[in-house]
C-alpha cells in the first residue's frame, strides 16, 4: 500500500504542495525502485560466474543494498507514518529472506561422503550383532545391504581395470578454465593510441584500474551484455556505443570511482548505478538511473523514470545526443525530472541543473572527435569535450 500523500491543492506557507514535493511520496517511489533493482540483482545471481569471486561480489553488493535500504527506512521515520514503516520493514525482510534462500541454493554441495564398508568387514572374525540394521534386508539377516543403500559394490566381470583406475583418480573433475584477462591486455604498452578489446569470450564487460587510455568496444563485444562494470578509471575515454546500440543493451550497468573521464555507456535495459564519479561526462540510456556521491559531472541521458541523485554536487543533465542510437521513444525521456533525495525542500535542489543548450557538445564532437579523429590523441579529445587534464 502506498504511503499517504499530500494531494495537489494543499498549501504550505502560501505555496501549493504537489505530490512530487511530498517527501513521503518521493520516498515511496524511491523505495519501490530500489526493491525492484535488488530483486533483479538477486534473481541474476545464478548467472554470475564464481571464478575470481565475481558472484561473491554480487552477493556483497546485494547485502549492502539491503542494508542501505533498511537504514533509509529508519531515517525516514520522521515523516513516514508508522503503518507504512511496517510495510517497508516487511519488504526489506522479504528481500533478506530471498537473498538467503538464493545463496543457499547456489552454495556448492559438500563433497564429503561416508565410504561404504567392504564385504570383508561384514564377514570378519567379529560377527555383527543380530539386530544390526545394516545387515537386514527383507527380513533376512544373511543378505548384505544392496549397493544403493550403502552395501558393498560387486564389480562386473571385466570391470577390474576400471575399478583400479578409479582408485587412482579423484572425483573433483577438471579444473575450471580461466577467462582471458582483457584489462591486463589493455594495460600493456602498445603502438596504437586506441584500445579495442574484443570481449568475445566474456559474458560481461568489466573494465577497471586503467589510466590514460582511449578504449572503444568493437561490435564483437555485443555478446558480453549480461552486465557492465567500469571502475577505478582516471583520465580515460570509454566508448561502448558501437557494441551497445540499437536493440543491444546491458542488463545493468555500474560506474564507480571514475574521474576526469568520458564514458559513453550505450543502452541499458535495467538500472544504471553511477557512484563516485567526478569531473567527467557520462552518456547513457537506461530504464533507471541512480547517482550517488558524484561531483562536477555532465550527464547526457535517456531515462524512462525519474533519475535519482543523492549526496551529489554540480550535476548537469541534458538529453541523449541525436548521434546515439536507442530503441527508446524520445517522448518518454524523463532526463530533466531529477529527484534529489537529500533535498526535501520545496525549492529546486542546488545540486543539479539542466545543462544549457549553448554549452552542450555539438553533434560533430560525438560523431568525429570522440571516436578518434585523425591527428588527435586522448588529451586532445578530452580537451575538446571540456574535461580538464588530471
Q: Residue 42 burial by CB count (10 A; 0-12/13-18/19+): exposed, middle or buried?
A: buried
For residues 222 and 217, what is the distance between their CA atoms, to the nearest angstrom?
9
Determine the topology of domain 23-102 in CATH. Answer: Methane Monooxygenase Hydroxylase; Chain G, domain 1 (1.20.58)
The band of 323, judged by pLDDT with boundaries at 50, 70 and 90, is: confident
Give the pLDDT mean for 86-106.
87
For residues 176 and 310, what is the distance between their CA atoms, to the nearest angstrom?
41
pLDDT tens for residues 215-273?
988 776 666 566 788 999 999 999 988 766 666 677 888 999 999 999 998 888 889 99
For residues 91 and 31, what is the distance between their CA atoms, to the nearest angstrom?
10
Classify strands 11-12 and 15-16 as parallel, antiparallel or unpaired: antiparallel
For residue 241, which of 208, 276, 210, 265 has the smallest C-alpha distance? 265
pLDDT at 60: 77
**C-alpha Rg value of the chain to the nearest Å:** 29
pLDDT tens for residues 289-314?
999 999 999 999 999 899 999 999 99
- pTM value is 0.55
pLDDT at 390: 63
Cell of 287: 530504464
CB 335 within 8 A of CB 354: no
Domains of the chain, by residue range, sit at 23-102, 190-385
CB 266 within 8 A of CB 252: no
Q: Which class is 190-385 in CATH?
A: mainly beta
Amino acid at each position: 500500500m502506498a504511503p499517504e500523500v499530500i494531494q495537489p491543492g494543499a498549501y504550505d506557507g502560501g505555496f501549493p504542495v504537489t505530490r512530487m514535493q511530498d517527501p513521503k511520496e518521493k520516498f515511496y517511489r524511491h523505495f519501490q525502485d530500489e526493491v525492484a533493482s535488488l530483486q533483479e540483482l538477486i534473481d541474476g545471481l545464478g548467472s554470475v560466474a564464481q571464478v575470481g569471486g565475481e558472484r561473491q561480489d554480487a552477493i556483497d553488493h546485494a547485502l549492502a543494498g539491503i542494508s542501505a535500504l533498511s537504514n533509509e527506512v529508519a531515517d525516514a521515520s520522521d515523516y513516514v507514518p508508522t503503518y507504512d514503516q511496517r510495510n517497508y520493514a516487511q519488504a526489506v525482510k522479504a528481500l533478506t529472506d530471498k537473498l538467503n534462500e538464493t545463496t543457499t541454493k547456489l552454495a556448492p554441495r559438500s563433497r564429503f561422503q561416508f565410504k561404504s564398508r567392504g564385504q570383508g568387514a561384514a564377514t570378519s572374525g567379529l560377527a555383527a550383532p543380530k539386530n544390526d540394521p545394516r545387515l537386514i534386508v527383507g527380513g533376512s539377516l544373511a543378505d548384505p545391504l544392496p549397493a544403493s543403500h550403502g552395501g558393498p559394490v560387486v564389480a562386473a566381470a571385466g570391470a577390474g581395470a576400471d575399478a583400479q583406475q578409479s582408485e587412482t583418480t579423484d572425483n573433483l573433475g577438471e579444473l575450471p578454465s580461466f577467462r582471458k584477462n582483457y584489462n591486463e591486455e589493455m594495460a600493456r604498452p602498445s603502438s596504437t593510441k586506441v584500445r579495442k578489446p574484443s570481449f568475445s569470450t566474456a559474458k560481461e564487460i568489466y573494465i577497471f584500474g586503467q589510466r590514460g587510455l582511449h578504449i572503444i568496444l568493437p561490435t564483437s563485444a555485443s555478446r558480453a551484455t549480461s552486465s557492465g562494470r567500469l571502475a577505478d578509471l582516471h583520465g580515460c575515454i570509454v566508448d561502448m556505443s558501437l557494441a551497445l546500440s540499437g536493440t543491444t543493451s546491458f542488463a545493468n550497468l555500474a560506474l564507480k570511482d571514475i574521474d576526469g573521464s568520458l564514458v559513453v555507456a550505450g543502452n541499458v535495459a535495467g538500472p544504471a548505478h553511477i557512484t563516485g564519479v567526478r569531473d567527467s561526462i557520462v552518456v547513457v540510456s537506461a530504464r533507471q538511473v541512480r547517482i550517488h556521491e558524484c561531483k562536477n559531472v555532465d550527464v547526457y541521458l535517456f531515462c524512462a523514470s525519474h533519475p535519482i541523485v543523492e549526496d551529489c554536487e554540480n550535476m548537469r543533465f541534458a538529453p541523449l545526443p541525436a548521434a546515439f542510437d536507442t530503441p527508446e521513444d524520445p517522448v518518454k525521456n524523463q532526463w530533466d525530472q531529477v529527484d534529489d533525495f537529500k533535498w526535501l525542500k520545496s525549492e529546486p535542489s542546488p545540486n543539479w541543473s539542466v545543462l544549457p543548450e549553448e554549452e552542450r557538445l555539438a553533434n560533430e564532437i560525438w560523431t568525429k572527435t570522440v571516436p578518434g579523429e585523425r591527428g588527435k590523441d586522448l588529451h586532445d579529445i578530452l580537451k575538446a569535450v571540456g574535461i580538464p587534464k588530471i
